[in-house]
Amino acid sequence: MPAAGRRVWNFSAGPGVMPEAVLRHAQAEMLDAAGSGMSVMEMSHRSPAFDAIHTASIADLRTLLAIPDNYHVLYMQGGATAQFAAVYLNLVGQGDTTTPVDYVVTGVWSDKAAKEAQALGAHVRRVTDTSADRHTTLPDAAALALQLGAAGHGDRGGKPAYVYYCDNETVHGVEVSPATAVLDHVPKDVPVVCDMSSNFLTRPIDVARYGVIYGGAQKNIGPAGVTIVIVRDDLLQRRVPAIPAMLDWSLAAKNNSLYNTPPTWAIYISGLVFKHVLAAGGVTAMEAQCAAKAARVYAAIDGSGGFYRGPVHHAARSRVNIPCRIVVDGAPAEALETQFLADAADAGLVELSGHRSVGGLRFSLYNAMPMAGVEALIAFMAQFQQKHGPPRA
Amino acid sequence: MPAAGRRVWNFSAGPGVMPEAVLRHAQAEMLDAAGSGMSVMEMSHRSPAFDAIHTASIADLRTLLAIPDNYHVLYMQGGATAQFAAVYLNLVGQGDTTTPVDYVVTGVWSDKAAKEAQALGAHVRRVTDTSADRHTTLPDAAALALQLGAAGHGDRGGKPAYVYYCDNETVHGVEVSPATAVLDHVPKDVPVVCDMSSNFLTRPIDVARYGVIYGGAQKNIGPAGVTIVIVRDDLLQRRVPAIPAMLDWSLAAKNNSLYNTPPTWAIYISGLVFKHVLAAGGVTAMEAQCAAKAARVYAAIDGSGGFYRGPVHHAARSRVNIPCRIVVDGAPAEALETQFLADAADAGLVELSGHRSVGGLRFSLYNAMPMAGVEALIAFMAQFQQKHGPPRA
């Protein structure tokens, strides 16, 4: 165990590492935020002090992603899981079982999104599903063009109300890259809905090409408990009345996310992160850092002579969630992986286990993970291999 | 304005004042919680460190309210507003427009709860509605007995799936007292659903007499963004499949509130508050403090010779939210109220305005407001009256 009071290198897939400067800021004003004489947790959500926090956070996010004026930015609750329902309920409406909705299924999260819509009555079409490859690939351009293209609508029962995809699958570690790889195949009059929970703010995006973008905060933004929804104004008109208020985008938009008490602390911390990212050069700088960190880790895996192996095909590899197996004699060595996790924790490197559904190791490299943490991980990987791996050829 | 770094007396109706000891605790371990080397905000919700926080918080709440074993304690998101929908969706099911559900409407929150159920298709019966009295009263026992009693079912189209009421109406300042005043009139085989958001943990309750109790945290518990739902196990069987996952009590129960990422920070702070209340003597001690504080404020109002007036009838007065008008020549003196708010803020007493829907003043006296704050308020009220009120007879 590291000495008390020492910060560990936290590779959690989320909730995950946050910028230390943000934590120190929140710590310093815990009892008196900005001269208010109270913690942000104690502020009325309708007070001028909280309004300033809320307003600045949205302005900063708009700057970071160059969000056009015809998009609303909403703070909602319930994580991506709540949005899985909200997407269908806002864009089609519960009880409409005929209007098709198209899902590009590339991992467990897009699969869950499709299932949730289906459970609520949606006519879900899985335009592609990489489960046969255990979600280690992405659909190729030709398949997407065929399935998503206008030409395909007729064969499949008409134009969908939307096309849904997940930009980065946290569990399986596959990321759509470039960001436009799916978008390029969707006809212009079909809105694209994108879950960016795990790669939010890791690269510039062209918001205008999306209908809806959302992301839970607990990976690249702030604490768990707030979800950011960026929605094009015209799509706010689609929802039907029988929708729970807390899932209703148009209600949130009309009330500036203050229909009821929002998760004020989570919004505050998110705002501090936005300011931190802006000061660090914005999403272009994040993209460069992200690429550099991922390149170092993949190089360590690929250069290990097969001791470390990433299951994901190269073209589908995520920059932020890197699954990895320790392989001996051609098979995953689970006992060694357990040893790896224990020894890493002793060295102050934590949350390196793969998702419980896939096992193995996983290295999450969100924005707040500095290169120093990545270097510490790589050094540890080399040491561990030297100690436990077969002699290198 | 108070000097920088000084804590104000915060009478906000929510989010509101929190125990200073809890804030200091959270501040101290912001960068390294319990030797984990990370903030609680950075902890994976599936880590042993967070599990310990989560488990302890539920155990402490069970102790505080003596919650029987056949009740689940759930952490959910979306505030009371999400539960307005969840109550109907879990206990009846969307699309069932015939099974009656009974609402005791005593203020804006029970009214909103009824409206949300109705919007989702519920067959809502308002067994009583105090809106004709501008929600300054509570229904009397005879009326409740008539409306809620088994004898009344036949006349009104059958037994309801549940009876719903709000224990304390935050905006109007009316509180059901004693806590059993509604319960005593509901037949034993009809589950009672109770919103205790604003008087949660302010007095002992007999949980076994309720089917469901819930409360948003941001008044007597912790930060906004988490809602506690206490639900009797047999009621978890009632829900129908077409319910958004984030509103599904049985899914939350099956997954120990970890179906997806919960609002970890809000749970952590809630747990700290539970420990704080336990150490301070539990809910019996809170009840005594609450009564003493409310008695002091009502005495100041009632003893002001009519300068300060509470609009709520005595028998319906809330112990935690006290609306108040400044009255001159028999009418509310809005200019004086504005002056009161400004002068009070200068004296370090803040968030004293009434809800925007009713105007006037409101003094919220949640558990974390110490008697010293109440004394400061009363002293200020006396000074203000001396300066601005008519000469006392």
Q: Under a CB-based contact definition with an 8 Å cutoff, are residues A182 and A176 in contact?
A: yes
Among the options A195, A248, A249, A293, which is catalytic?
A: A195
Check residue A95 and give its pLDDT. 76
pLDDT at B347 over 90: yes
Q: Nearest chain A residue to B13 by CA: give it.
A: A44
What are the two backbone dihedrals, phi and then psi, of residue A124, each rounded to the nearest 5 degrees?
A: -85, 130
Q: How confident is the model at residue A237 (pLDDT cuts 50, 70, 90)?
A: confident
What are the distances in angstroms from CA A187 to CA A125, A145, A166, B248? 16, 10, 18, 36
Closest Cβ–Cβ partner in B15, B27, B260 for A261: B15
Closest Cβ–Cβ partner in B15, B78, B79 for A41: B15
Q: What is the residue-averaged pLDDT of chain A?
A: 93
Give which of B7, B25, B77 to mutate to test A binding, by max A Cβ within 10 Å. B77
Average pLDDT over residues A173-193: 91
pLDDT in tens, B106-145: 999 999 999 999 999 999 999 989 999 999 999 888 888 8
pLDDT at B223 over 50: yes
Map tokens 């009478």 to a residue.
Answer: B11
Q: How far is A79 from chain B (nearest CA, A)?
A: 7
Residues B9-17+282-388, CATH architecture? Alpha-Beta Complex (3.90)
Q: How confident is the model at residue A392 (pLDDT cuts 50, 70, 90)?
A: low
Q: How large is the ipTM? A: 0.96
Contacts of A23 (CB under 8 A, 6+ apart): B30, B31, B39, B41
Give which of B1, B24, B30, B41 to mutate to test A binding, by max A Cβ within 10 Å. B41
Polymer length of chain A: 393
Tokens of A53: 């926090």
| 3-state class (DSSP) for residue A379 | helix
CA distance B300 to B324: 11
Q: Under a CB-based contact definition with an 8 Å cutoff, are residues A262 and A229 in contact?
A: no
DSSP letters of B257-276? Answer: T-SS---HHHHHHHHHHHHH
Check residue A103 and give its pLDDT. 96
- How many other CB atoms are there within 10 angstroms of residue B29's CB atom? 16
Range of weakest confidence among A120-124, A154-158, A356-360, B118-122: A154-158
B 245-284 near A (Cβ less than 8 A):
245-247, 259-266, 269
Query: Does residue A350 belong to the interface with chain B, where contact is any CB pair within 8 Å?
Result: yes
Residues A24-280, CATH architecture? 3-Layer(aba) Sandwich (3.40)
Whether residues A77 and B80 touch (CB distance < 8 A) is answered with no
Q: Which residues pair with B195 in a beta bridge?
A: B166, B214
Average pLDDT over residues B301-315: 96
Q: How far is B239 from chain A (nearest CA, A)?
A: 13
Q: How confident is the model at residue B222 (pLDDT cuts 50, 70, 90)?
A: confident
Q: Which residues of A touch B37 (CB under 8 A)?
A: 2, 6-8, 10, 348, 350
Whether residues B36 and A223 touch (CB distance < 8 A) is answered with no
Whether residues A79 and B45 touch (CB distance < 8 A) is answered with no
Check residue A152 and give its pLDDT. 61
| 3-state class (DSSP) for residue A301 | helix
Q: Which residues of A touch B171 (CB under 8 A)?
A: none
Q: Which residues of B touch A245 (CB under 8 A)?
A: 81-82, 84-85, 116, 119
Q: Give the percent of chain B with pLDDT over 70.
A: 96
Contacts 24+ apart (CB under 8 A), A34-38: A35/B1, A35/B4, A36/B8, A37/B2, A37/B6, A37/B7, A37/B8, A37/B10, A37/B348, A37/B350, A38/B7, A38/B8, A38/B10, A38/B17, A38/B350
Whether residues B84 and A23 touch (CB distance < 8 A) is answered with no
For A287-325, b/e burial (b = at least 16 CB within 10 A) is bebbeebbeebbebbeebeebbbbbbeeebbbbbbbbbb
The reply to whether omega before B178 is within 30° of 0 (cis) is yes
pLDDT in tens, A298-312: 999 999 999 999 999
- Is A9 one of the catalytic residues? no
Whether residues B246 and A85 touch (CB distance < 8 A) is answered with yes
Check residue A1 and give its pLDDT. 40
Check residue B345 and give its pLDDT. 97
Query: Does residue A22 belong to the interface with chain B, where contact is any CB pair within 8 Å?
Result: no
B 30-69 near A (Cβ less than 8 A):
30-32, 35-39, 41-47
pLDDT at A151 over 90: no
Q: How confident is the model at residue A150 (pLDDT cuts 50, 70, 90)?
A: low
Q: Which residues of A touch B241 (CB under 8 A)?
A: 119
Check residue B91 and give its pLDDT. 95
What are the distances in angstroms from CA A97 to CA A82, A92, A114, A120, B293? 20, 9, 14, 9, 56
CA distance B314 to A104: 61
Average pLDDT over residues A61-65: 98
Q: Which residues pair with A228 in a beta bridge?
A: A75, A215
Q: Which residues of A touch B267 (CB under 8 A)?
A: none
Closest Cβ–Cβ partner in A20, A35, A261 for B4: A35
- Is A219 one of the catalytic residues? yes
Tokens of B260: 């997806």
Nearest to B369 by CA among B288, B293, B270: B293
| 3-state class (DSSP) for residue B382 | helix
Map tokens 């109007």 to a residue.
Answer: B172
Query: Does residue B215 belong to the interface with chain A, where contact is any CB pair within 8 Å?
Result: no
pLDDT at B30 over 90: yes
Q: Under a CB-based contact definition with an 8 Å cutoff, are residues A240 and A93 in contact?
A: yes
Average pLDDT over residues B193-200: 97
Q: Give the percent of chain A with pLDDT over 70.
A: 96
Whether residues A116 and B244 touch (CB distance < 8 A) is answered with yes
pLDDT at A241 over 80: no
Contacts of B142 (CB under 8 A, 6+ apart): none
Q: How far is A184 from chain B (nearest CA, A)?
A: 31
Check residue B119 and give its pLDDT. 92
Whether residues B6 and A37 touch (CB distance < 8 A) is answered with yes
Query: Does residue B12 belong to the interface with chain A, where contact is any CB pair within 8 Å?
Result: yes
CA distance A153 to A190: 11
**Greater model confidence, B97 or A24:** A24
pLDDT at A3 over 60: no
Q: Nearest chain B residue to A82 by CA: give it.
A: B246
pLDDT in tens, B318-341: 999 999 999 999 999 999 999 999
pLDDT at B153 over 80: no
pLDDT at B356 over 90: no
Q: Under a CB-based contact definition with an 8 Å cutoff, are residues A130 and A144 in contact?
A: no
Contacts of B287 (CB under 8 A, 6+ apart): B202, B203, B204
pLDDT at A218 over 70: yes
The reply to whether omega before A187 is within 30° of 0 (cis) is no
Q: Give the percent of chain B with pLDDT over 90.
A: 83
B 135-174 near A (Cβ less than 8 A):
none
pLDDT in tens, A283-296: 999 999 999 999 99
CA distance A253 to A248: 9
Contacts of A59 (CB under 8 A, 6+ apart): none
Query: Does residue B217 belong to the interface with chain A, where contact is any CB pair within 8 Å?
Result: no
pLDDT at B150 over 70: no
Q: What are the domain boundaries of chain A?
A: 9-17+282-388, 24-280
What are the distances in angstroms from CA A201 to CA A198, A257, A280, A282, A367? 9, 21, 12, 8, 8
Whether residues A77 and B77 touch (CB distance < 8 A) is answered with yes
Q: How confident is the model at residue A2 (pLDDT cuts 50, 70, 90)?
A: very low
Q: Which residues pair with B169 in a beta bridge?
A: B174
Contact pairs from chain A to chain B, CB under 8 Å = 236
Map tokens 């906004």 to a residue.
Answer: B224
Polymer length of chain B: 393
pLDDT in tens, B64-84: 999 999 999 999 999 999 999
